[in-house]
Chain A
């Protein structure tokens, strides 16, 4: 029986503090909670907004499969993935993951694993709009390489 993973794909914003607190409060007997948050960045000061497209149905399945793999590899009390889609502005929170374990290393490693896999294996695509230009974000070679490091 796997420990609980909470997966949410949503357009609405989420409250990082409330989610982290609620996640931690659900963990009993755990010594460590790690959270990671992805934020829309505007490296050149030109980004107007980002549009995140996803594949409803497959996205939830892919995230559940990724979480299940993490629970098999590490002794986790629980895990959480929230990923937004739709239109986001610079500095908006895109997503978060949280992991709980008895030991910090498992919690950190599992959070890293969830991030590495969902970046390249969950069906989300980002399109950045700056002024009159809009372009799809290309995958980065190091993201694909990160997956090889886990295998």
Chain B
């Protein structure tokens, strides 16, 4: 009797196992079948829906979400259940569910996993490489119709003011994604101005100035006994952003290359107008030689490429120089908390030999995509409509005056008119100077600017044209401090800068790159870091170029040239 019981139990388990196996084996087939059926149906449903109206029934959207573990939500709010998502449900009947969550650093990896296993949430944010992969794998819903029918006029205005954006994500007349409106960006040099002042030093212009300042900081132990010179790339990070990454040059060494006329990691034109890979050019070698020398002298962080995080060193007050885009102050709040004197200011430096400030143009970006077969793509479009449009009256009450960020807003992308940053910075400056009034602000097209202007006078204290840290009120309006501080302290310098941009000739992988790039990239990363650290001779650069060409670089260069 007893024996039989066990036997029965075992059989049950085995049967259970078999069922699950067969289910998981078929699941990929099932999804593809059902998806093709659904996608035909869904486009018809989408016709004639009020872009900013409430759905009659609650619609669920499952998304993948990146979480900033340091972010402080209001009260018991979470990324999934917060003032914004509750408001979204209340006013529009859109219910946001998290299929999964990943930390900011793990997010890309989690997305890649989801793509490779074809286990996708209804919608999520992906990068350019992932977008291309998903289009190739036919995993994305065609959004052409639903954008046409449900897209709010405001959303369409934004894309019209950013020509080329939608064309880039349209393949065979099918719209596959909603791209972020890339704000122009270039790496500025961020320096502790309080240290500069203490030492009586001038703001930097050239590479030599930069070297001199770093040396002075170290010699005078401005950050304590172990003062680090120029801090940058940490462990696993890249020395510069490439045509496949969209890092905005935060905390890397692109600036040093640009000032030497080198553009590693992107495809540029040589003097005959042919495409060449910037990492293989003599200017790159020259910059590596310089960085190697700086490293020996201690100007560059001794632990370049090894630190868990370069930002940590800047925040803890051990370093006083690094490179980053205009929005860098968003990441410096802890630095100010640690040391209220820490006066991080951006400089348009280093300039190249001709006195120009150059940068490559960020090519990659973020994209919102919808899984093929998701029944309600209109819900995703509506979320974007709501995100970019002027908020209805109930919004103020729901958010209680807190500025919502990408942590509260699901499927957050930066979507604004192409000149959004310029407009915001100039408007804030004019408003502080009393040149314009609140009513003069174009509230319809630049809603965020209006929000910032409402709060700016609580945060920025006189004199209004001096952005040093002592002229800010950090406590009065903490919900808006970072926004205003970043726009005025970083944004104003960037808006005024005259940047010469160079854009990569290729912006995604070619056929041979699909197979060879892992190998070539490894060779590049290894050679360059070792040259800087001094563990390989500078001549290894030439060996690298030769090997790079032999192991597929030649073919790839040909392919990129064919793109032109």
Genuine A/B complex: no
